[in-house]
């Protein structure tokens, strides 16, 4: 089925940024570019389906349909359903980690830093597809040790370490009173994680103002801010 789309060909012409262009416009693009597009479409579709149904209940057929490719095409990119799932998590998480790792230079107060961080998290994770991915990992982790390992190694342990660094800095600067907090950076991120899960599960029962909640939580840790 000719699904050409030049997306990345001559990036000079028509900004190649809107990746979900409805396709079909440009007959030029080459094979490799197409393959990449297809792969991206598969990844996108698979993520969508896995999030919506979980690993076991997701049908490759549906992924293929959603990605606009034939079933067999999936197997040109992934060995089987399991490794597709495992690779998927990597593929989606790596760039997120990369972006977060490229932290802004630590200027200003620790609280400001953490607030910036939380703001980012709020915008990029809570209530987004990325947040659903976190829930998916929580859901499937026990059956996919490789995924849990990867997630722990790349995200959790790094995140914990970074938070611990910030907490210690906060303590050193006198912004944070409670010294024990450095032993459990989990406490710092717990409400954010809960917000992620809440949005996935209970948003429709009781919407949660995650931003406000995180502010309250930071007040708890740093002391209430004197309203400027």
Partner DNA sequence: AATGAATGAGAATTCATTCAT
Partner DNA sequence: CATGAATGAATTCTCATTCAT
Q: Give the count of alpha carbons within 13 A of 197, CB side only.
A: 10
Residues 43, 10: Cα–Cα separation, whole Å: 24
> Using CB distances below 5 to 8 A depending on partner kind, what does residue 81 bind out of DNA, its own copies, none?
DNA
Between residue 8 and residue 47, which ones bind DNA under the rule CB under 7 A? Answer: 27, 30-32, 34-35, 38
Beta strand ranges found along the chain (DSSP E): none
CB of 71 to DNA, least distance (A): 4
> Using CB distances below 5 to 8 A depending on partner kind, what does residue 194 bind out of DNA, its own copies, none?
its own copies
- Residue among 12, 20, 72, 102 that touches DNA (CB under 7 A): 72
> Using CB distances below 5 to 8 A depending on partner kind, what does residue 82 bind out of DNA, its own copies, none?
DNA
Residue among 202, 182, 200, 198 at smallest CA distance from 221: 182
State yes or no: residue 81 binds DNA (CB under 7 A).
yes
Residue among 147, 44, 41, 145 at smallest CA distance from 90: 147
Residue among 92, 102, 85, 107 at smallest CA distance from 158: 102
> Using CB distances below 5 to 8 A depending on partner kind, what does residue 111 bind out of its own copies, DNA, none?
none
Interacting residues with DNA (CB under 7 A): 1-4, 7, 27, 30-32, 34-35, 38, 57-61, 69-73, 75-76, 80-82
């Amino acid at each position: 089925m000719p699904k050409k789309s030049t997306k990345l060909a001559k990036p000079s012409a028509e900004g190649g940024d809107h990746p979900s262009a409805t396709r079909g416009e440009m007959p030029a693009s080459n094979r490799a570019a197409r393959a990449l597009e297809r792969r991206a479409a598969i990844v996108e579709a698979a993520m969508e389906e896995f999030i919506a149904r979980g690993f076991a209940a997701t049908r490759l057929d549906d992924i293929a349909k959603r990605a606009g490719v034939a079933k067999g095409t999936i197997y040109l990119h992934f060995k089987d359903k399991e490794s597709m799932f495992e690779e998927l998590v990597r593929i989606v998480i790596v760039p997120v980690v990369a972006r977060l790792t490229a932290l802004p230079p630590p200027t200003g107060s620790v609280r400001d830093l953490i607030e910036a961080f939380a703001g980012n998290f709020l915008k990029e994770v809570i209530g987004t597809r990325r947040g659903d991915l976190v829930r998916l990992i929580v859901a499937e982790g026990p059956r996919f040790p490789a995924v849990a390992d990867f997630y722990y190694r790349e995200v959790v342990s790094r995140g914990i370490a970074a938070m611990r660094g910030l907490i210690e800095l906060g303590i050193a600067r006198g912004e944070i009173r409670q010294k024990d907090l450095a032993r459990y950076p989990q406490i710092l991120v717990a409400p954010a994680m809960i917000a992620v899960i809440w949005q996935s599960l209970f948003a429709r029962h009781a919407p949660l103002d995650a931003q406000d909640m995180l502010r309250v939580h930071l007040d708890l840790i740093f002391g209430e801010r004197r309203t400027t």
